[in-house]
Amino acid sequence: MNIELDRVYTFKLTNADEIVGKIVDIVDDSYVVAQPLSAVPTEKGIQLIYTVFTGDPKENATINKTAIAMICQVREEVADHYLEATTGLKPVRKPSIIMG
C-alpha cells in the first residue's frame, strides 16, 4: 500500500488503539498526523474522540512506526466524520441513485 500525504488513514496500534488522522509528513521512523482522533465503539456506533486529552488537539502528533500494527484506507463515512470533527465542514456527497 502506498501511503500518501494529505490523506486520511486508519492506524491500528500495537496496543489495539485505533486512530484516524491525516498524514501531513512522513519521516524515516514516524508519521506526522494532523489532529488525530481515536475511534471508540459506542451503542450509537463508532465515535471519534480526542486521542490526547492534555495536549492541544489542534496540533500535529507524531506516531512512531514501531507502534503501528496496521495502516489501512479509512472508510468514506469515517473520513467524512473526521473532516466534520476537525474542521466543522460537513461533506456533501453526490447521491448514488440517478434521479431524472
Residue 91: pLDDT over 90? no
- 41 beta partners: 46
pLDDT tens-digit series, residues 26-69? 999 999 999 999 999 889 888 999 998 899 988 999 999 999 99
Q: One-letter amino acid identity for 87?
A: T
CB 25 within 8 A of CB 31: yes
Is residue 88 exposed (0-12), middle (13-18) or buried (19+ Cβ within 10 Å)? exposed
In this structure, what C-alpha cell is assigned to residue 25? 509528513
| Reported pTM | 0.84
Q: Which residue bears the cell 481515536?
A: 38
Within a 10 A sphere around the Cβ of 52, how many other Cβ atoms? 13
